[in-house]
Amino acid sequence: MVLSYNLYDNTFIAVYVIVMAFIFGAIFASFITCAAWRVVRGEDWIHGHSHCDTCGHELSTMDLFPIISYIALKGKCRYCGAKVPPRDLIFEIALGLLFAGTIAVHGAIDPLVIEILVLEVLFLGLSLAEMDTGKAPSGFLLSILITWILFAGFMADVRHYVLEGVAASLAISVIMYAVAKLMSSARKQKVEIDIRPFAVCMLFTGLDTGVVALIAACLAGIVIMLISRKKTFAVTPLLSIGTVFALIFGESIIQALFINTGILTGFI
């Protein structure tokens, strides 16, 4: 049995679900930014307590409401008055909007959309941790791998989900290994590429949408580098953007580009 509810069968329920998605997105962003921050500092990320970075005062539940606490306290610490950077607020609003947008575009509540939402949370944590440390923490990568395994049981076509995912994951691993080898010989020094984030992302996309994910990641990289004027940027955030984009829009893009135009008709 495949569980699925068509969102637009009832307008009231659709609006309610989309608003709730925004709230849950903000709550999960608050949790995952905190977890990523603790992973980066080597703190216990489940049992640790949040505290002000300036005065060290432990934060109460009242200080930790996503978005609302920041606005109510006018972006300052309740205890010492120090300004709190708006970084967390921005991520809470962004993930809230991403959650709401994902459900609105997908138009149904089913295992695939829940899987995308879980991935969005884990990708945010992974990206923040990598931007802070320059490395993708194994804990986040393992959580993403476990998500893929757990959701296999809920997919309509389990065999296709597993085979496509593993094939794409192996293919990208071989390609990135070859790219690293080629770059090493061209530059005459060892170039290392962390293959793990590529391998776990491709498990979710499979082969065809995987290509959409990689192209979207490259385009996102070009846009971000042009805007920020940086010459380098962490790979995982780009890969996360590409993967989420491909999971939401990939099938429709492939459908529109190849199948509707008849380019692939000869092969199918």
Q: Which residues bind Zn ion (CB under 5 A)?
A: 52, 54-55, 77, 79-80, 82
Rounded least distance, CB 177 to Zn ion, Å: 47
What radius of gyration do the chain's Cα atoms show? 20
Helix (H) / strand (E) element for 108: namely strand 108-109
Helix (H) / strand (E) element for 26: namely helix 11-41
Rounded least distance, CB 54 to Zn ion, Å: 5
Helix (H) / strand (E) element for 243: namely helix 235-254
Question: Whose Cβ is closer to Zn ion: residue 58's or residue 251's?
Answer: 58
Eight-state DSSP code of residue 82: P
Could you tell me the CA-to-CA distances from 26 to 18, 23, 89, 94 in Å, in that order? Answer: 13, 5, 9, 8
Query: With contact defined as beta carbons under 8 Å apart, do 220 and 238 qualify?
Result: yes
CB atoms within 10 A of CB 209: 24
Helix (H) / strand (E) element for 213: namely helix 196-228
Q: Which residue has the tokens 């804990």?
A: 139
Rounded least distance, CB 53 to Zn ion, Å: 8
Rounded least distance, CB 51 to Zn ion, Å: 8
Query: With contact defined as beta carbons under 8 Å apart, do 109 and 7 qualify?
Result: yes
Task: Give backbone dihedrals phi and psi of 92, rounded to 5 degrees, phi first.
Answer: -65, -45
Rounded least distance, CB 121 to Zn ion, Å: 27
Q: Which residue has the tokens 């805007």?
A: 227
Question: Whose Cβ is closer to Zn ion: residue 70's or residue 161's?
Answer: 70
Rounded least distance, CB 37 to Zn ion, Å: 16
